[in-house]
Amino acid sequence: MQSHINRKQKDRLIEFINSDVYKVALVYGARRLGKTTLVEKYLADNKLEHLFIHGDMAESQEILSSQSGAKLKSLIGKHKLVFLDEAQRIENIGFSLKILVDTVPDLKIIATGSSSLDLGKKIGEPLGGRATTIKLYPIAQEELVDIESSIETQANLEDRLIYGSYPVVITNPDKNFREQYLLETIDSYLLKDILEFDGIRNSNKIKQLLTLIAFQIGKEVSLTELGSNLGINKDTVAKYLDLLEKAFVIYSRQGFSRNLRSEITRNYHYYFYDNGIRNALIRNFNGLNLRDDLGMLWENYITTERLKHNDYSDQILPNSYFWRTYEQQEIDLIEESSGELAGYEIKYKQTKEKSPPQWRNNYPEASFKLINKENYLEFIT
């Protein structure tokens, strides 16, 4: 496979540069997803003259955190486009960027940041409606359609379920390398970011919590039960889960209901942004024929690829839920958009397509579809 993959979010950078409204674009997401590479390639391909500033450099940190108009303007000089990498390293960065765009006419700033700070809030609030956020995910299947044939896609499906879709994992076929890379990513980057985020010191509890979540994909998660297993209270569990979502390790889905008594809404389902990260946590890279968690792998993969597809489209992002009743009737994914409901059951091998009776009775206007390995590509691309 080619080493370079054309990322969908490049289109958002083009929209930003051509926008008369937005002055700052924040490209954010977990580490090792190619944020810096995305911006650098876009600037190089379009031969855009710019000033590059790395947020790790002490000199840059001192000036950009100073909130001194004179110092900031001196740093920028005559440049009209600035690329600020690792923006999370700089204190008060949102207010400093506000000063710059307020005082330097026609200035555009592209900032990248990992999840170690809630950069969307820290930059977005000071800048009001003049900042746009561009979220980068692991490689989406629809980003591979130009460099991968349909036969190759089918052949690579098992690898996607096991090793996930980080850029380096996608482009390097060596299984030993992939496994070591994913294990290192957890220990050296993802968990490190979380610990830095809010002064969290107990990395073992975070890792144990993630491991418990990894075995409950597609199931309702009880904070009380998790806390009991970990020896911590449910409020601490909730705090850790919130940090893990901000760090782009996991994301949640709430139960769908229109206030019907039979429907469960109080708990959440959690999914991983990447199957490889999930499998690295439980130290299991076995092939599909040796696993008893194929259903979880499939649901996590399809749900996440659908999330990427929806976010990369030009349509309004639908609200997403799961649906379950006290009578144990359930649907894996519900999407609600413009008043319309669609239910999707996600099963690797199942071929019988029939919605639960209570779903049909409660929501007769809603659609329903089974997503399996025969038709999944049309759902995620």
Which tens digits make up the pLDDT trace of 253-283?
A: 999 988 677 787 778 999 999 999 999 999 9
Structure confidence at residue 115 (pLDDT): 59
Q: Point out the least confidently predicted range of 2-11, 41-50, 128-137.
A: 2-11
- Both tokens assigned to 43: 């600037």
- Cross-strand partners of 108: 81
Structure confidence at residue 126 (pLDDT): 80
Angle made by CA atoms 331, 329, 214, in degrees to the nearest 5: 55
Write out pLDDT tens, residues 321-336.
Answer: 999 998 989 999 999 9
* pLDDT confidence band for 129 (50 / 70 / 90): confident
Alpha-carbon separation of residue 334 from 301, 305, 330, 362, 364 (angstroms): 16, 15, 10, 14, 14
What's the CATH architecture for 141-312? Orthogonal Bundle (1.10)
Q: What are the domain boundaries of the chain? A: 10-135, 141-312
Q: Domain 10-135 classified CATH 3.40.50.300? A: yes
pTM for the model stands at 0.92
Q: How far apart are CA 124 and CA 134, in angstroms?
A: 12
Residue 200 has pLDDT above 70, yes or no: no
Distance from the Cα of residue 44 to its chain's centroid = 26
Do 341 and 334 meet the contact criterion of CB atoms below 8 Å apart?
Answer: yes
Taking residues 139-163, report their average pLDDT.
95
Q: Point out the least confidently predicted range of 18-22, 191-195, 338-342.
A: 191-195
Contacts with 116 (C-beta within 8 Å, 6 or more apart), sequence order: 88, 193, 196, 197, 247
Contacts with 340 (C-beta within 8 Å, 6 or more apart), sequence order: 365, 366, 367
Residue 113 has pLDDT above 90, yes or no: no
Q: How far apart are CA 296 and CA 299, in angstroms?
A: 5
Q: How far apart are CA 314 and CA 357, in angstroms?
A: 34
Taking residues 119-129, report their average pLDDT.
72
Residue 116 has pLDDT above 60, yes or no: no
Structure confidence at residue 79 (pLDDT): 94
